[in-house]
Structure formats: structure tokens, C-alpha cells
């Protein structure tokens, strides 16, 4: 409703056709799923999935859903590109501008989420691909989970130990370890 109010005001003021609108949240929220009532300390889909809408009035795909996995760190490089600015050196994330043009184009870029209880070390890291959600937990209660969101949308079956998933576990575990090594908690 409030997003509609903002868009209506942009229409009323004649600014809609020259305004890029972005709506996002910084985290998901669990409302009792898995016995959790909060946003913090969750590597489940409900805790890591966020609302995210970009509307560039120059694109004819406005209103189309993009099924691709993206990260919030992609927002800044996207806006830099859409505004015609130079990408700063060392910028993390990637521009989502190609997805605004073709929302269902192939996109093989996983998204990572971290959880840190102390703000200094990682308690867990999740990598989300189009097929899998894989998490590794460190410190207290170490372990791993592999979930297939399409086959198990409520994330009730950890299939990390299934022999047919061994290659996926190896690949995703190496992505998690590389990410954890390259990113320090509390930075």
C-alpha cells in the first residue's frame, strides 16, 4: 500500500518516468517457522530471503518477476550502472541491469548469507543457488545441511548425507569455505 502511495505521488508529480524505484528489506523474518520468532541467527530461507523490487522506467519488463538468485550487495553496482556512473574499483557485487532487460536470462551467480553470534567469527555460512540451499555451521554445533527448495519448500529434509548429492555437497562446501576465507565477520 505504501509503495503504491509513493508511485502514485511520482505519477502525480510527473517524475515517474525519470525515477528508478528500489524497494528492499535487509532480512527475512521467521514467524514461528522452525520454532523461531525473529530475524536474527537464521540461515533458513525465511530468515535470508528478502523483499526486493527494482523498477527502471526505461525497461519494458516492469512488473515482471525475475526468478534468479541475487544478493543485496548487487544493489549498489546496479544503481551505478543504471545511473551511467563509473563502477568504483574493488566493488563487490554485480550489476543486475541485465536481469532488468531479460528477467529469465541464465544467471549462475550464487548468493551468500552469513550468521555471526559474536560479530567477529562466522557461526554459519549459507550459499543459495537456483537448485540448492547449502549451509555449514562452525563452532558450537558444527555441521552441514543441504536443502532442495523446489522439492522441499518448507525445508524439512536435510539431504546432505544422500549419496546422490555428494558432488553438489562437495561443490557447495568449497564455495562456502572460499567465501568464509575471503570475508571476515565484523568487517
pLDDT score for 49: 83
72: buried, middle or exposed (CB in 10 Å: 19+, 13-18, 0-12)? middle
pLDDT score for 177: 93
CA–CA separation, 10 vs 17, rounded Å? 8
Least confident of 77-86, 94-103, 113-122, 127-136: 113-122
Burial 76-114 (b: 16+ CB within 10 A, else e): ebbbbbbeeeeeeeeeebbbbbebbeebeeebeebbbbb
Torsion of CA 103, 104, 110, 116, to 10 degrees: 50
CA–CA separation, 179 vs 168, rounded Å? 16
Q: Which pLDDT tens digit goes with each residue over 19-49? A: 999 998 877 777 777 777 776 667 878 778 8
Handedness of CA 147, 175, 90, 108 (dihedral sign): negative
Candidates 162, 100, 94; CA nearest to 132 is 162
pLDDT at 187 over 50: no
- Residue 113 β-bridge partners: 126
Least confident of 39-48, 51-60, 88-97, 156-165: 39-48
- Residue 176 β-bridge partners: none
pLDDT score for 40: 66
Report the predicted TM-score, pTM, of the whole model to 2 decimal places: 0.85
pLDDT at 136 over 50: yes
Q: Which pLDDT tens digit goes with each residue over 141-175? A: 779 999 999 999 989 999 999 999 999 999 999 99
Q: 134 vs 46, which has greater pLDDT?
A: 134
Helix (H, G, I), strand (E, B) or coil at 58: coil
Q: What are the φ and ψ backbone dihedral angles of 16, each rounded to 5 degrees?
A: -60, -40
pLDDT score for 2: 87
The mean per-residue pLDDT over the stretch 117-128 comes to: 88
Amino acid at each position: 500500500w505504501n509503495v503504491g502511495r509513493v508511485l502514485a505521488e511520482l505519477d502525480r508529480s510527473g517524475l515517474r518516468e525519470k525515477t528508478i524505484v528500489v524497494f528492499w528489506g535487509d532480512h527475512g523474518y521467521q514467524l514461528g517457522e522452525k520454532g523461531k520468532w525473529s530475524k536474527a541467527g537464521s540461515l533458513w530461507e525465511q530468515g535470508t530471503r528478502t523483499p526486493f523490487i527494482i523498477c527502471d522506467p526505461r525497461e519494458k519488463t516492469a512488473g515482471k518477476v525475475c526468478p534468479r538468485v541475487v544478493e543485496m550487495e548487487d544493489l549498489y553496482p546496479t544503481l551505478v550502472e543504471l545511473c551511467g556512473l563509473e563502477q568504483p574499483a574493488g566493488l563487490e557485487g554485480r550489476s543486475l541491469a541485465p536481469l532488468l532487460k531479460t528477467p529469465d536470462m541464465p544467471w549462475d551467480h550464487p548468493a551468500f548469507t552469513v550468521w555471526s553470534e559474536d560479530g567477529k567469527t562466522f557461526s554459519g555460512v549459507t550459499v543459495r543457488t537456483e537448485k540448492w540451499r547449502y549451509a555449514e555451521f562452525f563452532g558450537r554445533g558444527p555441521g552441514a545441511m543441504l536443502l532442495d527448495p523446489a522439492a522441499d519448500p518448507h525445508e524439512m529434509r536435510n539431504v546432505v548425507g544422500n549419496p546422490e548429492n555428494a558432488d553438489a555437497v562437495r561443490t557447495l562446501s568449497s564455495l562456502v569455505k572460499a567465501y568464509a576465507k575471503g570475508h571476515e565477520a565484523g568487517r
